[in-house]
Structure 1
Amino acid sequence: MQESSEFQELKRAFRRWTFPMTVAFLAWYLLYVVLSGWARGFMGIKLLGEINVGLVLGLLQFVSTFLIAWTYARHAERKLDPIADKLRHEVEEKTQ
């Protein structure tokens, strides 16, 4: 099974999405941490009332997390699940 071209394609499709998205999110998170530690003046700029850049960027961390989860679910449904379903059916047929 692991040697099959379908399984290899499933792994490639998974990695093509997860690797760049993981790198992008970690870079975004690291930027937030670096700005929080070394650009306090910038992070403290007030945008609206008591809402500052740091608060907005912190909240955007949550937004980006949920957005990534949503886009992964869509990616899995469209690209990964059909391949995985086909592989599952092949394995079930062989084991019966």
Structure 2
Amino acid sequence: MSSTGERSTATVYEQVQASPEFNELRSRLRRFIFPMSAAFLVWYLAYVLLASYAPGFMAIKVFGNINVGLIIGLLQFVTTFVITTVYVRFANKHIDPAAEKLRERIEGAE
């Protein structure tokens, strides 16, 4: 490919990156990712802090040999799957259609 072709391709990508549609897409993704990540990290940190500083609370038996610590630990896995499911639905509904429009715009401009 000639340097002119490379420049025009770079220009197309730079134009798309500077477009309001791309900025909206990036903003929409960040508005989902950052709060969800922060919430999960706080939830995980709470679990670690409880395990470290409240072992008596974590050792409370709920039924049989199942205690609060085990339940909260297992809920960490559940939370991961829930966040993944919510993200996939969000991406399918909001991110992927907008990204597809941008992709078509890029491919049409090349």
Is the TM-score greater than 0.5? Answer: yes
Residue-by-residue CA offset, 1:4-53 (whole Å, 9 max, x unaligned) = 00000000110010010001000000000000000000000000100000
> Which stretches in structure 1 are left out of the alignment for 5+ residues?
none
Deviation at 1:86, TM superposition (A): 0.2
What percentage of aligned pairs have identical amino acids?
A: 54
Quote the residue 2:80 is aligned against.
Answer: 65
Quote the residue 1:41 is aligned against.
Answer: 56
Quote the residue 1:80 is aligned against.
Answer: 95
The amino acid that maps onto 2:72 is: L
Give the count of matched residue pairs: 95
Quote the residue 2:17 is aligned against.
Answer: 2
The amino acid that maps onto 2:94 is: K
> Which stretches in structure 2 are left out of the alignment for 5+ residues?
1-15
**Larger Rg over CA atoms:** 2
Secondary structure in structure 2 of the residue aligned to 1:83: helix
List structure 1 segments (4+ residues) > 3 angstroms apart after TM superposition.
Answer: none
Secondary structure in structure 2 of the residue aligned to 1:2: helix
Deviation at 1:67, TM superposition (A): 0.4
Instruction: For 1:15-30, list aligned pairs within 5 A.
Output: 15-30=30-45
Deviation at 1:76, TM superposition (A): 0.3
CA distance in structure 2 between the partners assigned to 1:87 and 1:65 by the alignment: 30
CA distance in structure 2 between the partners assigned to 1:70 and 1:88 by the alignment: 25
Name the TM-score, length of structure 1 as normaliser.
Answer: 0.98
Name the TM-score, length of structure 2 as normaliser.
Answer: 0.86
